[in-house]
Structure 1
Amino acid sequence: MRSEQKKKKKTWLKLTSIILLVLIVGGGVYAYNVYSSLKGAVETMNEPLDQKQSDKREAPVAVKDKDPFSVLMLGVDERAGDRGRSDTMIVLTVNPNNNSVKMLSIPRDTRTEIVGKGTVDKINHAYAFGGVQMSVNTVENFLNIPIDYYMKVNMEGFRDIVDAVGGITVQNDLDFTYSGYHFTKGAIQLDGKKALAYSRMRKEDPRGDFGRQTRQRQIIQAVIKEGASLSSLTNYSDIFNALGKNVKTNLTFDEMVDIQKNYKTVGSNITQMEIKETGTKIGGIYYGLVSDAEKQRLQNELRAQLELN
């Protein structure tokens, strides 16, 4: 069970794992075409932040030199005419020196200062107010660490990625009906539309937002599994095209290659951190409150992981 949990937690490899497609393919023209398509897709995915250097670092992080680094992962439910909110927020701190990753899921209702907005609100509202940059600034302030990289996955468009890999299989642990689809317990097959419905359900789940985040991670991990299989290589153009449209990151292609090369063993030692919150209503709105002591505990652990003084 523990080994299965570790596999499920390797979410920091979402994009870098796709590079393994190139390694699977033999030499020659076909491999060159896959490599070229992959590089083109990564260039499409790349969206630098407005603020290139965090004020919480004295010098830029260098993955080619095996520096510890952090990633903010945002699962965003964007629809036409609506920027949406970042309903999934995961901070990963990666340290090759102690060969470990620490993963912190931030509940969407966590009450904190929204940096750049001048207000205190739910942390997931930062994306609605100011996109990725405001989300990064807000998380940096909340955790007192630099956010070196981000990865944003548009869950609305993720159905295209699911269809591009020919559908996925997930292990469902909750029997429920949502958006006209019935999902039974056990292994279930999902096409793009069903995967989107599966990832959105929250209110019928006794685990609430945590349950939805779990299903979103299942979908992303299943896509990576299918995308890295030999049977999917014939669809590599569709896969990369869908990724380019629905995944954005400030990681460059060269940085992804360096991460795959220099950090690939850290995935065997992943620790899940948890924020202890107290739920309350303020003005009739539900928030998760984090005490100063709890916030300091999180900051100390993450800063130690990143080897920050």
Structure 2
Amino acid sequence: MKKMILKIALASAVAIAATVGIYVYSIYETTTVAIEKIGTPEVVPVEQSAKVKPLTLLLMGIDYRPESGSLNSDVIMVVTLNPEQHSATLVSLPRDLQMAPKGLPSRKANYYYPYFNNIEKNSAFMETKKVFSDFMGVPVDYMVTVDFDGFRQIVDLMGGLTIQVDMDMRYVDDEDGTDINLKKGLAKLNGKQTLDFVRYRKSNRNTEESSDLARNQRQQQVLDQLMNSLKSTGGVTKLGQIIETVGSHMKTDVPASQIRDLMTTYFDISPSNVKYVHLDGEWESPYIIVKDEDLEEARAALIQQLGGKGTAIAGIGLSTGSGVGKESTSGTSSSKGSNGGSSGSTSSGGSTGEKSNSSTGTGNGSAAGTKSGAGAGKQKEQEGGTNKETNGTAESGSSTVGEATYGVKSENGSMPPKSPAILPPNAGSSSE
């Protein structure tokens, strides 16, 4: 009798294991097929894999409207991921942030992707990544755009999200069908309502208006909720369906194998290991102007996540014609300035304190880089010419911070040369 019971127990265990195995394999197969449709076919070397290499992604939420061909980038994020620390830093950029890439029109941050897309669709990702890589001082490896229809469907697939709505929201636009109507308090929101919650800015029905900072904070809340929902049992079982849904509403240059590596490496990342940085600024129509120190803090946070590896920040020198190098004993701050037009550099060792170097030449503010030092103290050097340093910013002669430096205002600054604008100055903006 005991042997019979044991046989039955063993048979049941085998049957259960087989069923679970088939189920897991089915999910894996569905997920794999969906990933292959989304990702590109490039082969990624082992040393470049997301499993071992810190990566930077540019994420954009696109309000795509087929009737007008609009590609409004309402959500813009730069994300750095560190596999060793199992952590991430996410910087939210206001869509109205003023930017002025070298040789391009000075426009809002959400202008550049549709700008490049209108010129040449095949190179739009590459050119857009260059602009934001220069702006944030980190190498942007990949870009992802998701249109809002896909976002709505994903939230609905998850059964909605429980969200703490921070204010009454009411906005109606009969022309494009927008109808935002949310009440303050804890609520279970479907996909459409969650999107309304994230996007709400203006009101035309006697409710308070919202700021870009508040919108960025809502994005964080929604992302946290999505992460928790995706890691739940229900989320895991729907993973293949979710990826397939995203795939039909997403464009990316991430290889399929890299998508798998990203998923397996960061799927269970803890929300406490995700650092959110919200770039805020002052509204000076039609732009949001971000303070130098806030922008530098965001750059430093991204660079730190990458292990201190930044890039040359083209056109972001805080003075032209004379260079500024800033070294930090923390080992993650980035150098700024033109240094006669030289390119940025990275070094490590026993350099100490803060150092400002002035060099002659006619540079264009292209130099940047990172240094790490184990020493301590403060030191200044001058090589040819007079140099003064104020709060870590060097100025030489009459050169000042110009508007060419991405929304940083100047008394005597000038704009960079502008190429013919294919889109109007407010392109990419929407009414919400």
Question: What TM-score, normalized by structure 1, do the two folds share?
Answer: 0.71
1:137 counterpart SS class: helix
Report Cα offsets for 1:152-190 as digits up to 9, x if no partner: 221233222223333332221212234445322222222
Q: Which position in structure 1 is the counterpart of 2:35?
A: 42
Corresponding residue of 2:69:
82
Higher helix proportion, which one?
1
Give the letter aligned to residue 244 of structure 2.
N
Moved more, 133-142 or 187-196: 187-196
Distance change (3 Å), C-alpha of 1:124 and 1:60: farther
Counterpart in the other structure of 2:92: 105
Task: Give the corresponding residue for 1:193.
Answer: 192
Aligned partners of 2:51 and 2:145: how far apart in 1?
25
TM-superposed deviation, 1:79: 1.6
Structure 2, gaps ≥5 residues long: 1-17, 118-124, 172-177, 310-345, 347-432
Aligned-residue CA RMSD (Å): 3.6
Q: C-alpha distance in 2, partners of 1:295/1:181?
A: 32
Q: Could you tell me whether the CA contact under 8 Å between 1:101 and 1:267 is conserved in 2?
A: no
Report if aligned partners of 2:77, 2:90 keep a CA contact under 8 Å in 1. yes
Q: 1:245 to 1:219 in 2, by over 3 A?
A: farther
User: Please, which of 261, 270, 273 is the counterpart of residue 274 of structure 2?
Assistant: 270
1:157, 1:250 → 2: CA distance?
18
- Contact between 2:213 and 2:279, CA under 8 Å: does it hold in 1? no
Matched ranges for 1:161-172 at <5 A: 161-172=154-165
Residues 90 and 105 of structure 1 are in contact (CA less than 8 Å); yes or no, is this contact kept in structure 2? Answer: yes
Aligned partner letter, 2:243: F
Structure 1 alignment gaps of length 5 or more: 1-24, 54-58
Deviation at 1:255, TM superposition (A): 2.4
Once the 2 structures are TM-superposed, how far is the Cα of residue 146 of structure 1 from its aligned partner? 0.6
Distance 1:262 1:192, change over 3 A: closer
Return the alpha-carbon distance in structure 2 between the equivalents of residues 219 and 293 of structure 1. 27
Match of 1:175 in 2: 168
How big is each residue's C-alpha offset from its partner over 1:48-100, in whole Å with a ceiling of 9 and x where there is no partner?
A: 89xx99xxxxx997235622221222121112142422221111223345564
The runs of at least 4 consecutive aligned structure 1 residues that moved more than 6 Å come to none
Relative distance call for 1:133 and 1:160 in structure 2 (3 A) is: same
Asked if 1 retains the 8 angstrom alpha-carbon contact of 2:39 and 2:259, the reply is no
**1:247 corresponds to:** 250
Instruction: Name the CA shift for 1:216/1:267 in 2 (closer, same or farther; >3 Å).
Output: closer
Name the CA distance, whole Å, in 2 between partners of 1:224 and 1:144: 27
Compared with structure 1, are the counterparts of its residues 270 and 114 closer, same or farther at alpha carbon in structure 2 (3 Å cutoff)?
same
Residue pairs, 1:1-309, within 5 angstroms: 27-46=20-39, 62-63=48-49, 66-80=52-66, 81-97=68-84, 100-114=87-101, 118-131=104-117, 132-178=125-171, 179-180=178-179, 182-204=181-203, 206-231=209-234, 238-262=241-265, 268-275=272-279, 277-281=281-285, 286-290=286-290, 295=295, 298-306=298-306, 307-308=308-309, 309=346
How far apart in 2 are the matches of 1:304 and 1:234?
35
Q: Secondary structure at the match of 2:95?
A: coil
How far the C-alpha of 1:245 sits from its partner, in A, is 1.4
* Whole-angstrom distance in 2 between the partners of 1:277 and 1:234: 41
2-structure distance, mates of 1:112, 1:69? 23
Contact kept, 8 Å, 2:96 with 2:110, in 1: the verdict is: yes
Shift of 1:227: 4.3
Distance 1:290 1:176, change over 3 A: closer
Q: CA deviation at 1:122?
A: 0.8
Normalization by structure 2: what TM-score? 0.53
- Rounded to whole Å, the distance in 1 between the matches of 2:280 and 2:183 is 32
Task: Decide whether the 8 Å contact of 1:41 with 1:244 is kept in 2.
Answer: yes
Between 1:202-211 and 1:143-152, the stretch displaced more is 202-211
Relative distance call for 1:289 and 1:43 in structure 2 (3 A) is same
**Quick one: distance in 1 between partners of 2:240 and 2:85?**
37
Distance 2:82 2:154 in 1: 30
In the TM superposition, what is the alpha-carbon distance from 1:129 to its structure 2 partner? Answer: 0.9
SS in 2 for 1:156: helix
Q: What is the CA–CA distance in structure 1 between the aligned matches of 2:238 and 2:220, rounded to whole Å?
A: 22
